[in-house]
Structures are given as C-alpha cells and as structure tokens.
Amino acid sequence: MIGRLNHVAIAVKDLEASTALYRDTLGARVSQPQPEPEHGVTVVFVELPNTKIELLEPLGADSPIAKFLERNADGGIHHICYEVDDILAARDRLKAQGARILGSGEPRIGAHGKPVLFLHPKDFLGTLVELEQA
C-alpha cells in the first residue's frame, strides 16, 4: 500500500544553523525557509536525489514541534512520510486493522498542498508516520 518515501522530518531548534549544516557540511541543496503558520513550523526543504529532508523549527506559541524539542534537546527525527495513492482507502484499511489515526481522522492539507494523515507512533514502532496522497 505505501509507496515512495516522501520525506523525513527533523525537528530543529535553530533553523539557520541546521540549514547551514546541511548546505555547507553535507553539501546538500536547501530551500529558503518557508513559514507555515497553520502547521506551527518554519520549514527548510533539503532536496536529495531520491527524497527530501524537512528541517522543522517551531513557529508560534503552540507549535507541535515545541514539545518534541523539550524532550529532545538536540533535535531529532520527528516523523517519516510515505506516499499513498488513495489516502481515504489507506485510512480505512489501517483503521480496519486497528491502527490509530491522529486528530479527527480526516485528511488535512499538508505542507505540500496535498492531503495528509498522521498515524499513532505507538502503532508503528515508536515512529510518527505521515501518509501523503501523492
């Protein structure tokens, strides 16, 4: 059911320093910072040949990333995102197998303008999983 790895998201405390690390030390192509107030993050996209890395810095008071950074002072992998062809079919299949969908259970429009859902980390090996309709 799942397809390509769309991105790995890394929560960071200092977006400028983290961007410089990927750009200068690792030699990767990076985007300009993109504020996404609806998602409580500012994001920099790191373009790799086969996938993306997203560097997420908290934006605003109730950012979902802020709590994660309280528990992970150095930052860390926040979630991984897999592509699916049909997000509602994927959701229904997962629900039928007992997996928990976060939030309302209805897809939201994610950072790339496409419908996304998040799956409970306790059901997926301790990893927050995002599904994005490709």
Catalog residues that contact Co ion under the rule CB under 5 A. Answer: 9, 81, 130
**CB of 116 vs Co ion, minimal distance in Å:** 7
Q: Please tell me which residue in 57, 83, 130, 132 is annotated as part of the active site.
A: 130
Which of 59, 63, 41 lies closest to 111, judged by CA? 41
Is 44 exposed, middle or buried (CB count within 10 Å of its CB: 0-12, 13-18, 19+)? buried
**CB of 111 vs Co ion, minimal distance in Å:** 6
> Is residue 130 annotated as part of the catalytic site, yes or no?
yes
For residues 83 and 130, which CB has a smaller minimum distance to Co ion in the complex?
Answer: 130
Read off the DSSP letter of residue 102: P
**CB of 54 vs Co ion, minimal distance in Å:** 6
Residues 87/116, Cβ–Cβ less than 8 Å: yes
Residues annotated as part of the active site = 130
